[in-house]
Amino acid sequence: AMASAGIGYGIVSWYENRALDRLKGLAHNLFPLVWVRPGETTMEEVRARLTDGFIGLKLHPTVDDYRADDHDLDRYLEIAAEVGCPVACHSAPGEADPDHIRRLAERFPTVPVILYHTYLGPTEGRRRAALHVREQPNLYLESSWCGWREVLQLVEETNTARMLFGSDASVDGPHHYCRHPPNVEGKETYNEGLVPLVRELGPEVARQVLGDNARRLFHLNGNSHR
């Protein structure tokens, strides 16, 4: 899927962490996150995986049925603060609402918390997510399933350092970036949106959004264009 969009590196997660173990030694360009289920995922597993090449934590309150500000998450965030890794959290209506995610981020101000999808729902949720990012310095947005004009607006509402380009290729399959009918808001494919997005952002900002911001947050060496 990544090759169809000219993407060389990616950060991935899956609901079964062991499925990502096979990446070790096979894929040098995919960096996994530890999927955390509060009360089920052990501290030992989280620490072991972060030591063994996983680069952050993944939370999915909608799939795993907990609120994003649940205090049962605190011990996992404490590990993230200790080792200095980011936490990516699915954001959507209900349990994964940006308001809940902000409260989690407020409790752990040294941990970068990324709102995956920047709210997978009505646009009012995206406006709230952008407001939270402006007010809470350790919150970041991610662009999967957002049309390119929406991404541009979110960058304008926040700043160039707080938006990360992303997709959902691990869920949507090998044709994710060029799927027809269009899969991004039913209007465009990822590939169709990338060209005008880069044009409007300009080369320097586009490099930040499409790669350098993620590299910085996840401590991956180099710049996206090298």
Q: What is the pLDDT of residue 199?
A: 97
Helix (H, G, I), strand (E, B) or coil at 202: coil
User: Does position 222 have pLDDT exceeding 60, yes or no?
Assistant: no
Does this model's pTM top 0.75? yes
Residue 31 and residue 170: Cα distance in Å, rounded?
A: 12
List, in order, residues 6 or more apart from 208 with CB less than 8 Å away: 160, 161
Q: How far is CA 52 from the centre of its chain?
A: 20
Structure tokens at 135: 């007010």
Domains delineated in the chain: 2-217 (3.20.20.140)
- Whole-number pLDDT of residue 25: 62
Mean pLDDT in residue range 111-132: 98
In the structure, what pLDDT confidence band is assigned to residue 24 with cuts at 50, 70 and 90? confident
Residue in 224, 99, 108 with CA at minimum distance from that of residue 164: 224
Q: What is the pLDDT of residues 181-207, one digit of tens each?
A: 888 988 999 999 999 999 999 999 999
Q: What's the pLDDT at 55?
A: 96
Q: Rounded to an integer, what distance in angstroms lies between the CA atom of residue 223 and that of residue 80?
A: 23
For residue 121, pLDDT over 60 is answered with: yes
Give the C-alpha separation, 203 to 218, whole Å. Answer: 22
Residue 223 has pLDDT above 50, yes or no: no
> For position 186, what pLDDT does the model report?
86
Share of the chain above pLDDT 70, in %: 95
55-101 confidence digits (pLDDT tens): 999 999 999 999 999 999 999 999 999 999 999 999 999 999 999 99
